[in-house]
Amino acid sequence: MTMQLKTVVPRTTSRLDLWRRLIDRALERALPKASAIPPVVHEGMRYCVFSGGKRFRPLLCLGAAAAVGAPSRVALPVACALELIHTYSLVHDDLPAMDNADQRRGQPACHRKFGEGNAILIGDALLTLAFDLMSRHEMPNALAIIHTVSTACGTTGLIGGQVLDLQAISRPHGASEETLKEIARWKTGALIGASVVSGGLAGSANSHQIKYLQGYGRNIGLAFQLIDDIHDREGFVNRLGLDEARAQAHNLIAHAIDMVKPFGTEAAGLRQIAQWLASTAS
């Protein structure tokens, strides 16, 4: 149900490369072995999670934890949970009843490889494991993190945004700019914003720090969707035009970077993620 940028994984600084490796190793440990019963579901979960994703949401989570002075390990369980939730949303988004996509990241979509019924269950299993991960580790503010993430996944977040998107598709003249922004804020932006806030919470952020992280997440989330539409030449590009969509994306990213100035050098990771996102707006 969420969107993802269709670009090649870029060269990044060693900090982001290190975080990505940490995330992949943690995901490898968290996911059941492919041979575990029932193997079709566990093989499918691994197939989808390790299909070349850029780990954008978990990177934001670790970046936010670092911004408030916490080590990466404290936010790693929620970072993995966020990637599992994002992957579940893509599995369900590709289903025949939704986008009916044959491929995801250059390989057969989950339902094409494992069957539609199994794909539904694979998505369900990914979502369930995500909340298991967040509940079984002794993270600071675990209940607040679970509340933040679950709200972002629900009817005022990812699921609600998908409903709005399905409704917009049926309109003969397309959606208005405001409707597109509402869809983007819910379908894509909510989970991206929750990724930032939950990382801050895992790092024991105070209320003032959370407000700055929320501002960063809101701006990055909408910019992400604008850039995704720039790549696909749809959505915002159809409504605003290519140049205006690109200008709005860069403006949002600049605002996001401004929001983390109070964190100083500790927010270097969040700034690097924002700068990478800006570099893809072509």
Identify the residue whose tokens are 């994703």. Answer: 53
d(CA 193, CA 92): 21
Report the sign of the C-alpha dihedral through residues 52, 58, 64, 68, in that order.
negative
Tokens standing for residue 185: 């804020």
On the 0-12 / 13-18 / 19+ scale of CB atoms within 10 A, 173 is: exposed
2 vs 234, more confident: 234
Using the 8-state DSSP alphabet, how is residue 103 labeled? E
How does residue 252 score in pLDDT terms, banded at 50, 70 and 90?
very high
What are the φ/ψ torsions at residue 173 (nearest 5 degrees)?
A: -105, 10
Domain-located, residue 257: yes
**Is residue 280 classed exposed, middle or buried when 0-12, 13-18 and 19+ CB atoms within 10 A define those classes?**
middle
Question: Is 225 a member of any domain?
Answer: yes
Look at residue 172 in the predicted model and tell me its pLDDT.
Answer: 53
- Classify residue 91: in a domain, yes or no: yes
CB 187 within 8 A of CB 163: no
**Residue 208, pLDDT above cutoff 90:** yes
pLDDT of the residue at 237: 92
Structural domain that includes position 172:
14-279
- What pLDDT score does 4 carry? 44
Q: What is the mean pLDDT of the chain?
A: 92
**CA gap 185, 168 in Å, rounded:** 15
Query: How many domains would you assign to the chain?
Result: 1
Tell me whether residue 5 is in a domain. no
pLDDT tens digit sequence for 32-62: 999 999 999 999 999 999 998 899 999 999 9
In a domain, 3, yes or no: no
> Is residue 8 one of the residues assigned to a domain?
no
Q: Which residues contact 10 (CB under 8 A, 6 or more apart)?
A: 276, 279, 280
Side-chain half-sphere of 264: how many Cα atoms within 13 Å? 2
Mean pLDDT computed over 214-227: 97
Integer angstrom CA distances of residue 17 from 7, 149, 156: 17, 25, 33
H or E element in which residue 108 lies: strand 107-108
Helix axes 72-93, 116-136, angle to 10 degrees: 160
Average pLDDT score over residue span 167-194: 87
142-156 residue pLDDT tens: 999 999 999 999 999
232 has a pLDDT exceeding 90: no
Percentage of residues of the chain with pLDDT beyond 70: 94
Predicted pLDDT at 173:
65
Q: What is the CATH number of the domain that holds 184?
A: 1.10.600.10
Structural domain includes residue 265: yes
Whole-angstrom distance, CA of residue 227 vs CA of residue 220: 10
Contact between 61 and 23 (Cβ < 8 Å): no
Could you read off the pLDDT of 79-129 as tens digits, one per residue?
Answer: 999 999 999 999 999 999 998 999 998 999 999 999 999 999 999 999 999
In-domain check, residue 195: yes
pLDDT at 149: 98
CA atoms 232, 238, 239, 242: torsion sign: positive
pLDDT band at 281 (very low <50, low <70, confident <90, very high): confident
What's residue 13's pLDDT? 56
pTM assigned to the model: 0.92
**Pairing relationship of beta strands 107-108 and 103-104 according to DSSP bridges:** antiparallel
